[in-house]
Amino acid sequence: MPHEPDALSLEEARAKVEQAHAAWLEYRNFTQEQADAIVEAVAAAGRAEARRLAQMAVDETGMGNVEDKTAKNLLATDILPRSMRGMRLLGVLRELPGERITEIGVPVGVVAAVCPTTNPTSTAFFKILISLKAGNAVVISPHPRAKECTCAAAGIAMEAAEKAGAPRGLIQCLERPTLEATQELMKHPKTALILATGGTGMVRAAYSSGKPAYGVGPGNVPIWLDPSADVAEAVRLVVEGKKFDYGTVCSSEQTLVAERRMREAVLEALKRNGAYLMNDAERAAVEKTLFSGGTRVRGECVGKPPEKIAEMAGFSVPPGTTILAGEIPGIGKEFPLSAEKLSPVLALFWVEDFEAGVQACESILRFGGIGHTAVIHARDEARVSEFARRVSAFRVLVNTSSPQGSVGITTNLQPSMTLGCGAIGGNVTSDNVGPQHLINIRRVAWAVRRPEEAMGSADSGMKALDRAALAAAVAKYLEQRGVAVRPAGVQEAIRAAMPASAPAAAPSSPGGLSADAVEAAVDRYLARHGAAPACPCGQATGKPAAPAPQSPPAAEKPPEPPAPKIEIADFVCEADVREAIAKKKKIFIGKKTIVTPAARDAAAADEVLVMAER
C-alpha cells in the first residue's frame, strides 16, 4: 500500500512557520544589542541543562555517551556564544568613506533547522542561537527517533528567549516530525533558508527544495601520521578523537595512515591507549556487522560502545577498551572499513612513503568524505604545507583530535555543528557555518564617477590611458631635473586642463591631447608646488636653457645649496604609498591633505606618511 502522509504533521509544519514568521516581523526590527541579550539568555538556560539534555539524548537514541554529549551541548551553549560576542550582523556593519559605500546587515527571515539523531540537542541549540544572533526566527525539525530530547532543548530555548523579550513564537519545534512534515517546512513560502544536518538524502532534499540551503556532506576523515610527529602523543590524540561520543561526530577519525616502518611503534601506542587490535577474522566480522548494502552503516551500530560492537560481531574485548582498530590492505568498496563508520572503530593503513601516504588520504576522502576534514600529525611544517596543499579537504587539522579540532574546541576555527564541504562535496559553502551565513548584506552605494569615466568608448578609454602614460613620462622628465612630483598629481593637472568632454585636439598630440594644454597643465602644477617651469627659456622645446657661465670671486665662498623643498601632497592614495615604499621615500602631508583609508593602512607599517606644515 502507498504511504499516506500524516495530515496532522503537515498542518503543524504550516502553522508553526506562520507563527514564526509573524514573530519575526517584530523581531527583525530589534537592534543587535537587543538580539544579543536574548542570545545570552538562551545560552545560559542551555548551559544549565546541558547534562540533563545529554542524558535524555542517550536514553532516547541509544547513541553516544553522556559525558561527550554534555561537552557537545556546552560547545553550542558556552563556546559558541562566547565566540559570537561583539560580532555585528544587524544594522550598519561597515562604512567605507573612500568608496562611498555603506553595508547593512539584513536578517533572512524564518530558518528551517533540520536536526540529526546523532547530535540532537547540541545541534538544536546551535541552530537556535545562530538564528537569533542574526535576527531570524527558527523552526526546528527533530529526527523522529530523537524528538523528545530535541523538543525539550527547543522548549528550554523558547522559554528563555521570551523571558528576555523575544516575540512569542520566534522559536518553534515540530512535535510530530515526519519526512513529509520536514519537506513541507522546507518548501513553505514563508521559509527563507534551510539549515540541514542529516543523511545524504535529507541534504539533497534541502538543496532541491527551491530555497537557499546550507547542507553538509558526510565525513570520512583520513589521518596522516608523519615520521616527524611525536608518535605517542599523536596516537593518543587519534584515540581521543575516535572514541569521542562513540564516533558519532561527522569529523571523527576514520583511517590512520602511516609509513610501514612505523607499524610496530603505532600498534604499541594504540594498545597503551586502550585500543583493541583486531585480527583479520575479527576485522571481517566487524565489517559484516557494521555495514549493510556495501558501506551503509547499520542504524543499530551507530554510536555504540566498542564492547557492544565486538559482542554483535561475535567476540569479546577487555573491560576499558576505548576503540577497536583493524589493519586493512586497501581502500574502496572492497575494503568496507575504509569508509565512514559512525562508531569507535578505526582502520589502519600502511604505506611506503609520504607520497603514497598523501595519495592514500586523498583516496579515503574521495571514498565518501570529499571536502570535509583531514588530519596531519607532524613537526615538519614543510610536510604540513605540502599535505594541506594536496588533499581535498577544507579543514586540515594539525596535531589535534579531529572532532574537537574541526568544531572549534581545540582550534580557532569558528565553533560550529555544521561543517561545509564546499563545491566538490556538493555544498554551497566550505565554511564552518555560523550566524554570518544567515543574513543578507544591503549595500548603499553613492555615485563617484560618470559612466564615460568608468567604461566609455574606445576613444575615451584610449585618452585616459594616454593621459596616464603621458603623466608618468612628464613626472620622470621633471624628476631627472630635480623636481620631485607624483605621476598621479600630474595626471590630475592634465585631466583638469583637458577633460574627457573637451574637443579633440591636434592629431599630432598623444591620445588627442594638445601640446599647449599639456604644457599649460604642467606649468600650473609646478607653480602650485613652488617649482620652476619645465622649460625656463619659455620655449616648448623640451630642453632647459643653459645658464650663462659665471665665475665666483676668488675670495668668495660658494653659496650653500638650498635645503630641499618639502612637497606637501594634496591627495594620497594606496598606489602613492606603494610607490613611495618601493623607492624608499617619504610622503609629506598637511592638515588639508586627503588620505584614503587604504593608503593609511598600507603606510602604517613603514611610516611612509610624515605630517608637515605648509
Region 7-88+108-216: CATH code: 3.40.605.10
Q: Which helix (H) or strand (E) holds 375?
A: strand 371-377
Residue pLDDT, tens place only, 108-141 = 999 999 999 999 999 999 999 999 999 999 999 9
Q: Does residue 607 register a pLDDT over 90?
A: no
DSSP 320-345: T--EEEEE-S--BTTBGGGS--SSSE
In the sheet with 191-196, reading across from the earlier edge strand, the strands are 171-173, 137-141, 110-114, 191-196, 213-215
Find the mean pLDDT for residues 95-117.
95
**Residue 533 confidence class, pLDDT cut points 50, 70, 90:** low
Cα 501–chain centre separation:
45
Pairing of strands 393-398, 439-445: unpaired
Percent of the chain with pLDDT over 70: 81
Q: Which pLDDT belongs to residue 446?
A: 95
Mean pLDDT in residue range 92-103? 93
Residue 519: the pLDDT is: 65
pLDDT for the residue 509: 44
What pLDDT shows up at residue 153?
98
Average pLDDT value for the chain: 86
Spatial separation of the C-alpha atoms in residues 197 and 159, rounded to whole Å = 24
CA distances from 321 to 244, 305, 324, 450 (A): 13, 9, 8, 73
Cα-only R_g, the chain:
34
Any alpha helices (H) in 75-116, and if so which ranges?
80-84
To which H or E segment does residue 256 belong?
Answer: strand 253-259
| Confidence label for 396 from pLDDT (cuts 50, 70 and 90) | very high
Which pLDDT does position 275 carry in this prediction? 98
Ranges 256-260, 299-303, 475-479, 564-568: which has the least confidence: 475-479
Note the pLDDT of residue 208.
83
For 374, residues 6+ apart whose C-beta sits below 8 A from its C-beta are 221, 222, 223, 224, 361, 365, 387, 391, 393, 395, 396, 397
pLDDT the model gives residue 503: 42
- Over residues 507-519, the pLDDT tens digits come to 444 444 555 666 6
Question: Which pTM was predicted?
Answer: 0.75
606's grid cell? 613603514
Hey, is 150 helix, strand or coil?
A: helix
C-alpha cell at 238: 587519534
Q: Which of the two residues, 97 and 377, has the higher pLDDT score?
A: 377
Examine the pLDDT at 538 and tell me if it is beyond 50: no
- For residues 14-21, average pLDDT: 97
Q: pLDDT tens digit string along 162-193?
A: 999 999 999 999 999 999 999 999 999 999 99
pLDDT band at 506 (very low <50, low <70, confident <90, very high): very low
pLDDT surpassing 80 at residue 206:
yes
> Where in the sequence numbering do the catalytic residues fall?
250
Q: Which has more confidence, 6 or 357?
A: 357
What gap in Å lies between CA 202 and CA 180, rounded to an integer? 11
Q: Is a pLDDT exceeding 60 seen at residue 439? A: yes
Q: Which residues lie below 8 Å from residue 590, measured CB to CB, with a gap of 6+? A: 568, 611, 612, 613, 614
The class of domain 221-414 in CATH terms is alpha beta
Q: Would you place residue 340 in the very low, low, confident or very high pLDDT band (cuts 50, 70, 90)?
A: very high
What CA–CA distance (Å, rounded) separates 490 from 589?
A: 17
Higher pLDDT, 2 or 608: 608
Cβ 275 vs Cβ 323: under 8 Å: yes
> Is pLDDT of 605 > 50?
yes
Contact 439, 448 (CB under 8 A): no
Q: Which set of grid coordinates corresponds to residue 609? A: 606618511
Is 7-88+108-216's fold the same as 221-414's?
no
Domains of the chain, residue spans? 7-88+108-216, 221-414, 451-530+564-611
Mean pLDDT of 457-478: 58
pLDDT of residue 493: 58
E-state strands within 528-599: 568-572, 587-595
The pLDDT assigned to 75 comes to 97
Mean pLDDT of 208-213: 89
Q: What is the pLDDT of residue 545?
A: 41
Candidates 201, 186, 192, 195; CA nearest to 215 is: 195
Rounded CA separation 17/110 (Å): 7
pLDDT of 215 > 90? The answer is no
Task: Label each residue of 461-490 as H, E or C.
Answer: HHHHHHHHHHHHHHHHHHHHCCCCCCHHHH
Rounded distance, CA 476 to CA 349, Å? 65
Distances (CA, A) of 580 to 143, 417, 568, 577, 586: 62, 47, 14, 5, 6
Cell of 597: 583609508
**Exposed e or buried b per residue across 222-239, where buried means at least 16 C-beta atoms within 10 angstroms of its C-beta:** bbbbbbebebeebbbbbb
Higher pLDDT, 147 or 558: 147
Rounded CA-CA distance 166/35 in Å is 8
How high is the pLDDT of residue 444? Answer: 97
